[in-house]
Structure 1
């Protein structure tokens, strides 16, 4: 009998969707099942049945979610229940399931949310620490997540499971300096993705430099932020499907990732697979990977300076090209498959 894994997610949208797709695609020998809260802005895709043997909806709220998790566990009888995102991590670890069958992946710890006040972030941390012993393993999608999990509970196994993508690796797109570059950023317009960071960059670009760029934000969300971006000259696409988002990414000259916190962003992985030069905000998701310094920015001022150099100087672009190979290596399909296979096999030993 194949190993059975029930994946549970309360936040089934954005990068978690892509992450779960890649988990299932990387390990076809495993019998994958899915229990999720469907989001209105991202209905369940019709191709889920090709990846998951069963798909069920989960109610929002603690009581309903715990009941649904317990029922699905009784139905599927999985070897492992893999909890994805913070709320699923709470619900699953409080559902009375044998901890030896639980694996937890937060895809970005809740106590890293800069939009929350310090007191609330402290509560999130205490909750994570208290629940840290109620699982067989912690599966982080970044080295920083793994480090934090080990510090919270050294006795619980912590492993790095890289995100990856099913995109084929394309050739590196070297920018031909014709005096104009198209820059794309992507994600829900919300505090986590921090479009305000992009607005601060734009304010710091000298007029002559600003004219050399076209900026596009792929995604939708907060209406006030949408209006602010448009007023700053950014094209905001609103909600688009995955194929349309992929097309924007495939056509850009540079991918600029400005999120305030992440697990490990799927959009960066997809940009690397497509061979697009990349600059990222230097957040904890990228810690420990020895990425090119020229592809990392710590502030809007540094980002504005980097963009100005990038559009004018081939030497300033080398790090953004090197970033492509770095991300492809870290987030390879082979690495993800080996890590997942070891994770589940160790639990069955």
Structure 2
């Protein structure tokens, strides 16, 4: 099978998602090509095993015809059987005004009309465009039940919709198990992890007020940096900053946490949650996102039912080390049963085969 992946941004969850798919697909003997903006790739260089073709991504509507023309040349050059398009703008480039390929699978990676930092009229417009373009994809592949249900509510044809929860490789099992066994069990404050961009979407604005309300022997460990134009996180005696760390080092940092907080206002389906479950660490998520789909409250984590620093602090203050160990054990079990990469990859390839045989 010849597969072409089309991306715009190449960082964070999308890069990890597509990178893992490419490696697994090539490992099965498929021919895989990545179409991406060369400047985006340069910002996150990876030793990708596939062929790479570049195109000039742009969010300026006046540039869309030129971007589309370049992508049409790439498709003609490689003649893929399947075109898997990732995120909003590649979805526009490849489907407006008509589909560039008869077998496009579109993964939105978080619907544009759910982004709460956009005005209501802009979100309304995004929704109308997504509904219109949905008919120009063979399949719209959602990453969560929230994405699926929102697409149905928008009026997208349910026959074009499918949902596949993401999975990730379990490549740190031995280290995770040994670190958990050696975990400190005595009375002490919590090590609380926050992993991600320090922006409005991720709920980073809650962190200062949260730190003020934590027990004095607890520490909030923040991995990530501010996005351009955002007010920097001010120093605080209960906050320890690490900046961005290499992806390969994340597992070791996660294992050292007692609990990981993901207070996002919206998400497609955050890999941070799955990485935490894989590490055997309970997570606290907001009820505003699809991440509540992976948490059974009190079993493998907790769900915020009020989006505020006060409520989040109350959940954390009520946790003991023993609670975290118990829920962490269950978190690891949930990952192994529901979110492994093998399961995810099998479902994606089955979808590709179904589209090819349709």
- Give ranges in structure 2 of 5+ residues lacking alignment: none
Cα distance change on mapping 1:258 and 1:232 into 2, 3 Å: farther
1:2-24 deviations in Å (ceiling 9; x for gaps): x1111111122110011112222
- 1:182 equivalent to 2:180? Answer no
Map of 2:165 onto structure 1: 162
Aligned to 1:148, what secondary structure does the other structure show? helix
RMSD: 2.6
Residue equivalent to 1:192: 201
Alignment CA distance shift 1:115-1:76 (3 Å): same
Corresponding position of 1:136? 138
**May I ask how many residue pairs the two structures share in their alignment?**
340
Q: Does the alignment pair 1:109 with 2:111? A: yes
Query: Which structure is higher in RCO with an 8 Å CA cutoff and minimum separation 6?
Result: 1
Compute the displacement of 1:219 (Å). Answer: 1.3
Q: Kindly tell me: are residues 314 and 246 of structure 1, through their superposed partners in 2, closer, same or farther at Cα, counting changes over 3 Å?
A: closer
The answer to whether structure 1 residue 37 and structure 2 residue 46 are counterparts is no
Q: 1:290, 1:218 → 2: CA distance?
A: 22
Contact 2:278-2:331 at 8 Å conserved across structures: no
Is 1:347 the counterpart of 2:358 in the alignment? Answer: no
Flag the 1:41–1:178 CA change in 2: closer, same or farther, 3 A: farther
Q: Quick check: 262-271 or 156-165, which moved more?
A: 156-165
Counterpart CA distance in 2 for 1:309 and 1:123 is 43
Aligned residue number for residue 331 of structure 2: 323
Deviation (angstroms), 1:278? 2.0
Of 22-31 and 123-132, the range deviating more from structure 2: 22-31
Q: Does 1:6 align with 2:4?
A: yes
Aligned to 1:237: 242
The 3 A distance-change label for structure 1 pair 316 and 7 is closer
Could you say if the C-alpha distance between residues 308 and 22 of structure 1 is closer, same or farther in structure 2, counting changes exceeding 3 Å?
Answer: same
Question: Is the contact made by 1:257 and 1:268 (CA closer than 8 Å) also made in structure 2?
Answer: yes
Alignment correspondent of 2:265? 260
- Residues 280 and 260 of structure 1: is their aligned pair in 2 closer, same or farther, counting only changes over 3 Å? same
Specify the SS of the correspondent of 1:184.
Answer: strand
Q: TM-score, normalised by structure 1?
A: 0.87
1:101 and 1:183 map into 2 onto residues whose CA distance is 44
- CA distance, structure 1, for counterparts of residue 254 and residue 104 of structure 2: 36
